[in-house]
Structure 1
Amino acid sequence: MAILTLLLYTSITSLVLYLLLNLRTRHPNRLPPGPTPWPIVGNLPHLGTIPHHSLARLAAKYGPLMHLRLGFVDVVVAASASVAAQFLKTNDAIFASRPPNSGAKHIAYNYQDLVFAPYGPRWRMLRKICSVHLFSAKALDDFRHIRQEEVAILTRALIGAGESTVKLGQLLNVCTTNALARVMLGRRVFSDTGDLKADEFKDMVVQLMVLAGEFNIGDFIPALDWLDIQGITKKMKKLHAQFDSFLNAILEEHKSGNGRTSGHGDLLSTLIALKDDADGEGGKLSDIEIKALLLNLFVAGTDTSSSTVEWAIAELIRHPRMLKQAQEEMDNVVGRDRLVSESDLGQLPFLQAIVKETFRLHPSTPLSLPRISSENCEVDGYHIPKGSTLLVNVWAIARDPKMWADPLEFRPTRFLPGGEKPNVDVKGNDFEVIPFGAGRRICVGISLGLRMVQLLVATLVQTFDWELANGLEPEKLNMNEAYGLTLQREEPLMVHPKPRLAPHVYESG
């Protein structure tokens, strides 16, 4: 009885707050259009099971700039290139911070990471550390051999599978994680195949992405936060404990001197050194900040790349003529007596177009990480109030029929000379396709992500022909998306790789 009374009291309190807030926040200027909010929960029910799909449908009705009320929070959604540019270029400084959210609080060490840190000196310090020691042109070149070695190990693992069915995404995740770990930690963290820890880690990352993509009611109706109605907070705390245990073991091993096997200075050693001699603004690094940064890098730098490559291979299986064209380009430029290397990528325009088209149709983060406005501003003639949360529907922008011919078709030639967008890149300069975001909060690892995805796709195209498991016809391949912060496949890609090069090529890699 006491619980029912408490719930009734909470509901009445929430209703009163909702009415007062709506009376208080009637804006003298025009807000962008949008669907009528429900009492208390606002437009949360409009988000549906896959929010970037639902928001794209709403944008088709209300326009490319929408205003929503999610609980008590003003939310603006950008769904066209021109509107996104006004937020992420013209008003980038105003939208430089992240809004409060349960994921940052309960998983990302209470905003001590790079991704969710408030804009300011400590964020700049963390970004500078990553930019200088991990993602600079020199750092990327210094560790090029590591990426190529790990990709060669992947090809041997695929050869070793024989006639077995391969879950491609799982092997790709092991490859990207080990490649990043060797740079970050000086060593691999998973064995080549069949590593149960690798399976567990991938599951942890996917679970994190699913939880981070949830719209937690408590984030938008603070009075209900303590109830944890959806059970999200409980799951986040449990997952955080798993990641924290994983990262503590890595940190302690490294401090003891047992984690260094690389001949190069690794990032974690640099971070530990910076604990006593901080690099630049923001003060010294703590163990928590180091773990939070490692968490960002492991999550954002592994599954996003591996899932993008998985989508690319799925599209090429569905379009065998394109796969053949890409293989012919590879044979002409690289030949069949060695594995493709990063230095070859600039001479493979069709391969690069395939990667761009994959980023367009299957952006790793379809709904951008949210930002919050630090002051009032005007966009497209509409008033955007201070404190508004910004969501950029990257997925919808890249499928906008006003910007793209036949936007739902996988057509890499659109990025080649003579195509509709020959000069468009994916580095945040052209807002028609911004898979890494844009502006000052653009993904810090964009250069590494591009290199890794291009190298993996190039290698898989060069070294194998692909058949689907159980004799499935390519046109029947399930291309549905799963729910989450990142764009996972609803069904993992199950394949039989068929080697197309001489055996010695795979061994020499």
Structure 2
Amino acid sequence: MALPLLILFALFSLFILFKLYQRFRFKLPPGPRPLPIVGNLYDLKPVLVRCFTEWSQIYGPIFSVYLGSHLTIVVNSAELAKEVLKDNDQQLANRNRTRQIAKFSKNGMDLIWSDYGPHYVKVRKLCTLELFSMKRIEGLRPIREDEVTAMVESIYKDCVKPENKGNALVLREYLGMMAFLHITRLTFGKRFMDDNGVIDGQGEELKFILNNGIKLGTKKSFAEFLPWLRFLFKAENAALEEHDALADGFTKKIMEEHTTARKKTGNTKNHFVDALLTLQKQYDLSDDSVIGLLWDMISAGMDTTTITVEWGMAELVRNPRVQKKVQEELERVVGNDRIMTEADIPNLPYLQSVTKECFRMHPPTPLMLPHKAVTNVKIGGYDIPKGATVSVNVWALGRDPKVWKNPLEFRPERFQENDIDMKGTDYRFLPFGSGRRICPGAQLAINLVTSMLGHMMHHFDWTPPAGMRPEDMDMMEQPGTVTYMRTPLKGVPKPRLSGDLFRRVAAGTV
């Protein structure tokens, strides 16, 4: 009994000494008072982004918070975001990898979680010039339009069933399946589902891996914040090892299939696995990097699409004025005798503004992925010590009443009154980040979200479930790195085009 108490006392003493050292050496931003060992973990609310936004009202636009003994600096204003992402971009371009993230990313051998350096520059160049070039994005358009129209067809078939007439549908089920099929086709070159809607064996295996990853990711462990106690979490370590082995085994099988197919036919397809395998030698990529990049595409492209469109549809259901205005524009540009395509988007400025307003109010990653200080740096007149994490509260930037008029109102017209960029040059509005770590797939995401919202508005009128007033809809976020709606959105669709326009436009092999 004496030994554990002695260890606890030693840890407590080390924490106090470290805190005193930091206080006298650095001028840290203010923040809530941390406790020894656990820091501010005791005080965090489940939806971190709302918790941090509330704290910014108390401690100011920049504050300190301790997750265990790890110092995190949170910035909540456009001016400070510019200091982080432009003025001090290179000094804050590393990543803070937890134990889980280190395992999933092959210790930073991917793009998203790699530290800034030669490897990051190399894979970033590959993504920008090869995977997300305008030529490849356009080449993959048939897959996007295939899956969006398949989703519309599925909603139509369900809503016209006699037993469902006038009933609300859970939109997340349709959006999630569409995102799954789309991103797996882009990444692995396979649909994993037949024409009857049955997922094949590989698809079921992949769904299990994805669901298991979500389960592991949402299960918070003190081992992440108290690394010296990790030896007490052997079961969790074993679960991580098992999950990693499953994901690796699945990916290597897909890679082998594509390598064999290319040797037989000599043909290369547009999807990412073929692109990475054919460019592997040119860019000197290890198998770990190829696997890490493929899973980056899956993790970055699946939940974020579902989340953004679900929030966007919730706002449109709550705001019939906006819904009607989108539909009037679609009727004017597209008409009612054909369906819209991505080629129509440049001629649909109000729909584009709706997409921007969705990203402003509901960025899918509301706390930008954490930046890590490579060296001591100053932000907002405060010291940021080397090794500290800096988080940009993108959710707070988009709702700051100092820079947005009536920020809690869903009003797409604001983006027609002022042409505001959402790809990293305007620090009031950063759904895809900025600087060296900006999301390379931003344009792909914008195209897909705009297309999905456009099709949903063009094909259907949407109303809340019977007996529910728009103002009573639950608009609270679910806890997590990415923020789903706490209560899955239900809406009643009413078809507004002729039945022959609800058929899937199949793309075949791309």
State TM-score, norm by structure 2: 0.89
- Give 1:479's aligned residue: 475
Distance change in 2, residues 1:256/1:497 (3 Å): farther
- Is contact 1:311–1:358 with CA below 8 Å preserved after alignment? yes
What are the equivalent positions in structure 2 for 1:319-468 lying under 5 Å apart?
319-417=319-417, 422-468=418-464
Say whether residues 1:62 and 2:59 are aligned partners. yes
Q: Distance in 2 between matches of 1:343 and 1:354?
A: 17
- Give 1:267's aligned residue: 272
Say whether residues 1:278 and 2:282 are aligned partners. yes
- Is contact 2:150–2:504 with CA below 8 Å preserved after alignment? no
**Partner secondary structure for residue 244 of structure 1:** helix
Amino acid at match of 1:450: I
How many aligned residue pairs are there? Answer: 496
- Is contact 1:170–1:199 with CA below 8 Å preserved after alignment? no
- Give 1:249's aligned residue: 253
**Partner secondary structure for residue 261 of structure 2:** coil
**Partner secondary structure for residue 257 of structure 1:** helix
Report how far residue 330 of structure 1 moved.
0.6
Report how far residue 305 of structure 1 moved.
1.0
- Give 1:36's aligned residue: 33
RMSD across aligned positions (CA): 2.7
Amino acid at match of 1:187: K
Distance change in 2, residues 1:260/1:472 (3 Å): farther
- Give 2:508's aligned residue: none
Q: Distance in 1 between matches of 2:69 and 2:402?
A: 33
Report how far residue 495 of structure 1 moved.
3.2
**Partner secondary structure for residue 416 of structure 1:** helix
Report how far residue 210 of structure 1 moved.
6.8
Say whether residues 1:180 and 2:183 are aligned partners. yes
Amino acid at match of 1:367: L
What are the equivalent positions in structure 2 for 1:113-262 lying under 5 Å apart?
113-161=110-158, 162-163=160-161, 164=164, 166-191=169-194, 193=197, 195=199, 205=210, 208=213, 212=217, 216-228=221-233, 233=237, 236-257=240-261
Distance change in 2, residues 1:169/1:245 (3 Å): farther
**Partner secondary structure for residue 240 of structure 1:** helix
Q: Distance in 2 between matches of 1:232 and 1:437?
A: 32
Q: Distance in 1 between matches of 2:198 and 2:237?
A: 32
**Partner secondary structure for residue 498 of structure 1:** strand
Identical amino acids, percent of aligned pairs: 36
**Partner secondary structure for residue 65 of structure 2:** strand
Q: Distance in 2 between matches of 1:461 and 1:473?
A: 20
**Partner secondary structure for residue 364 of structure 1:** coil
Deviations 1:115-147 (A, max 9, x none): 111211222222222222221111111222221
Q: Distance in 1 between matches of 2:4 and 2:408?
A: 46
**Partner secondary structure for residue 278 of structure 1:** coil
Greater shift in the superposed pair: 67-76 or 220-229:
220-229
- Where structure 1 has 5 or more consecutive residues not aligned to the other structure, the ranges are none
**Partner secondary structure for residue 495 of structure 1:** strand
- Is contact 2:401–2:407 with CA below 8 Å preserved after alignment? yes
- Is contact 2:146–2:504 with CA below 8 Å preserved after alignment? no
Distance change in 2, residues 1:338/1:298 (3 Å): same
**Partner secondary structure for residue 465 of structure 1:** strand
Q: Distance in 2 between matches of 1:100 and 1:27?
A: 28
Greater shift in the superposed pair: 194-203 or 146-155:
194-203
Report how far residue 307 of structure 1 moved.
1.4
Report how far residue 154 of structure 1 moved.
1.7
- Is contact 2:312–2:355 with CA below 8 Å preserved after alignment? yes
Amino acid at match of 1:269: D
Q: Distance in 2 between matches of 1:366 and 1:73?
A: 21
Distance change in 2, residues 1:336/1:82 (3 Å): same
Amino acid at match of 2:441: G
Say whether residues 1:88 and 2:89 are aligned partners. no
Distance change in 2, residues 1:423/1:265 (3 Å): closer
Amino acid at match of 1:453: V
Q: Distance in 2 between matches of 1:395 and 1:235?
A: 33
Deviations 1:258-310 (A, max 9, x none): 999997343212322334x232xxxx322222221111101111220121011
- Give 1:501's aligned residue: 497
Greater shift in the superposed pair: 25-34 or 151-160:
25-34
Q: Distance in 2 between matches of 1:176 and 1:395?
A: 23
- Is contact 1:72–1:221 with CA below 8 Å preserved after alignment? yes
Greater shift in the superposed pair: 45-54 or 8-17:
8-17
Amino acid at match of 2:491: V
- Is contact 1:87–1:379 with CA below 8 Å preserved after alignment? yes
